Structure 1
């Protein structure tokens, strides 16, 4: 149970010793879905194109219904939403291998893939919402900024890690046993750990309810300074999908197909370390500038990646990419949390999480097709395009901040009308 604790108590003590392991493992199925569905469909139906379309359908389902899951959690509470959504997702993942292996038409498989994305449990954004609520309620004002920064750093590092481990687990299980095992494993993880996360005592922190008078109108989710963060984090998702797909094609061309997941993990090492280290950055190095600076590091590494011609050079470049991606994600999630409309924290975080999975899904489908038709060289340009989008969004964010700084302050009546 959660108890009132002293204002200087560590966040681990406030959340409970089992919270962080449960929340971490509960994220894995979300990171395994896109690659797992792609691998299963390609192996069972012998069609790369069909596999790419199905992986994109997972992302589209998440994009369409993920934010609605967040809205429902803000209104009715996380427990009331996560339990049925998680159970539905586990059932769909468990049944998918049977449908794909059977005689069901491709349209039926496509529909199931969309439904898997639509019922994807939004664990990461809901975890952020819970931890932010804990910090605001139980942390002293003097410590709040530092604890918040460290928490966002951990959450981003956890996301980065699962988006590395997830595809790696899919590849390992598919090659060692069978492609269907990866999807079945995701179903089991969802059933056990998503349910445990939903029922954890921290789930009571944000109970929602129609009587919440401070909930901002939904149109505030369309504010430019929040939308630019969504675009930036979509670029990160595109980067994830294009890098993994391109790396897979590259190592296959060098006769080392089994090493794709291991090489991809090189990027995760530096990324997780720098993401966790973001909490130590001085306050004078603002979050918006961190996004731009490390986005430029990501862009430079992606350009170098497009010119790599050996396994050794790819490993070196992946290390550089890890330096850029971790702090960039921390900055984007921190800005998203800070700019979330009142009472719509879960909705905002779910939109950001959905943007990552959408970008990953679309990039996996498109870049896989390009690699097959135009060759690996052409496909290796796509991570640079994705990193360029991240940088452009960072520049747009700085310009919007400067515009807002120069704008005159609203009159009291206007501020009240704006909520």
Structure 2
């Protein structure tokens, strides 16, 4: 029998979201997602140093992304079925061991296919902290807050989550660089393993973790898996994938741009111009008027990224590069908030962790694949050719937003006008 809380009825409880999660939840959830952001760049640095091959490094990091793509949504599905706590504890333990194994294999005499296998399994066992955190907050807001406060709180919570992801994806590469410079190429991967043990475990054991449901509860509240294949949800996944492609291609092309100027190690700092602006504007989404609907926001924010990516093609010096990054940052953060809001709105009943894991996996797959492809393009065709790839990713985000307009039915359009996330 599942445990039932002894607290008063949710609707009667006073306080807001923080009173239900506790303040400590947010720093724990923030640091727990850091290994996820460190992994692609950390594995790339590890293999390039150990095997002295940029090509092998790119392929190995792509194997991490492939592992996330194949198994990440299944981890989300396991959390929906068995509860987040056991799922995260098992995944976190396995991931820490596999990261250590990967570092050992990379610096040893193991054949490269074994390194690829370890990288794939490392990606396959990545604890899905961002999706799980979003799922927890969405569940608390929908189930415990008064109806009148849900819409605004939902928008604020998802804006915070996207801003947290932005901060992590900006500082993750910086931390990798600092650790690799200070202690060697093995240090970022080892650091990710240690952070996983400490903070993923703390996140898994936090009181907000939803308990496992009985088979009767699952039968009553779990929508059929076929509903995950609805076109409106799949186009949302495509939108998130395009953002991942943008992140991976932009960071790699920027690294090549800075390398041409003899300052490759400063790429992370320059990249932060986009990340900081993106985080600020992501938080600002919470104050946008409801009449500026999600359906309209997607193509508008994507168009801002396209505009910045077009300006990027003229960047022959650092000031022009900084200007284009700042313009793209205005759109990328709010677009992420919009896409995750669509994901929350379109999640089939009982499958919110699965949907959020699908979105998180698509983000990392896009990032790792684009990093590998952009690196090869920069090496073979030069930096100018590599800078075209972020523009391609931005155009894909815009086209998927236009497709979403057609895929949003009239009833959903009306619901989306009542607030960022309709909950009634």
- Superposition map of 1:296-375 within 5 A: 296-375=303-382
For the pair 1:22 / 2:22, whether they are aligned, the reply is no
* Structure 2 residue corresponding to 1:228, chosen from 211, 235, 239: 235
Match of 1:208 in 2: 213
Corresponding residue of 1:174: 180
Alpha carbons of 1:281 and 1:405: their partners in 2 closer, same or farther (altered >3 Å)? closer
In the TM superposition, residue 176 of structure 1 has moved relative to its aligned partner by 3.1
Q: Which residue of 2 aligns with 1:414?
A: none
Taking the aligned partners of 2:214 and 2:379, their CA distance within structure 1 comes to 50
**Correspondent of 2:115 among 94, 101, 109:** 109
Q: Which moved more, 1:304-313 or 1:332-341?
A: 304-313
Q: 1:45 aligns with which of 42, 51, 54?
A: 51
Is 1:183–2:183 an aligned residue pair?
A: no
Residue 101 of structure 2 contacts residue 118 of structure 2 at CA under 8 Å; is this kept in 1? no
Instruction: State whether structure 2 residue 103 is matched by structure 1 residue 97.
Output: yes
Q: CA deviation at 1:10?
A: 2.2
Q: Which structure 2 segments of 5+ residues have no match?
A: 414-424
Give the TM-score normalised by the residue count of structure 1: 0.94
Q: Which range moved further: 31-40 or 309-318? A: 309-318
Q: With structure 2 as the length reference, what TM-score do the two structures score?
A: 0.93
* Counterpart Cα distance in 2 of 1:404 and 1:115: 42
Larger mean Cα displacement after TM superposition, 90-99 or 287-296: 90-99
- State the shift of 1:325 in Å: 0.3
Query: What root-mean-square deviation, in Å, do the aligned CA atoms of Structure 1 and Structure 2 show?
Result: 1.5
SS in 1 for 2:313: helix
Q: 1:208 to 1:30 in 2, by over 3 A?
A: farther
Q: Name the structure 1 match of 2:83.
A: 77
Match of residue 119 from structure 1: 125
Aligned pairs for 1:218-257 (under 5 A) are: 218-257=225-264
Q: Corresponding residue for 2:155?
A: 149
Gaps (5+ residues) in structure 1? 407-419
How far apart are the structure 1 equivalents of 2:7 and 2:270?
Answer: 44
1:385 counterpart residue number: 392
Retained in 2: the 8 A contact 1:74–1:206? no
Q: CA deviation at 1:207?
A: 2.6
Residues 176-185 or 116-125, more deviating? 176-185
Describe the shift of the 1:2–1:322 C-alpha distance in structure 2 as closer, same or farther (beyond 3 A): farther
Is the alpha carbon distance of 1:111 and 1:404 closer, same or farther for their aligned partners in structure 2, counting shifts above 3 Å? same
Please report how far the alpha carbon of residue 136 of structure 1 lies from its aligned counterpart in structure 2 after TM superposition: 1.7
Q: Distance in 1 between matches of 2:7 and 2:127?
A: 27
Contact kept in structure 2, 1:275 and 1:326, CA below 8 Å: yes
Partner of 1:307, secondary structure, is coil
How far apart in 2 are the matches of 1:330 and 1:384? Answer: 20
SS of equivalent residue, structure 1 residue 309: coil
Shift of 1:281: 0.2
Secondary structure, aligned partner of 1:201? coil
- Give the secondary-structure state (helix, strand or coil) at the position aligned to 1:31: helix
Deviations 1:130-155 (A, max 9, x none): 11111122210111111011111111
1:144-200 Cα offsets, whole Å, 9 max, x none, are 111011111111111111111111111222123311111111010001000100011
Aligned residues: 405
Q: Which residue of 2 aligns with 1:56?
A: 62
1:295 corresponding residue in structure 2: 302
Corresponding position of 1:139: 145
Shift of 1:280: 0.3
Consecutive aligned runs of 4 or more in structure 1 exceeding 3 Å deviation: 1-8, 402-406
Distance 2:365 2:121 in 1: 14
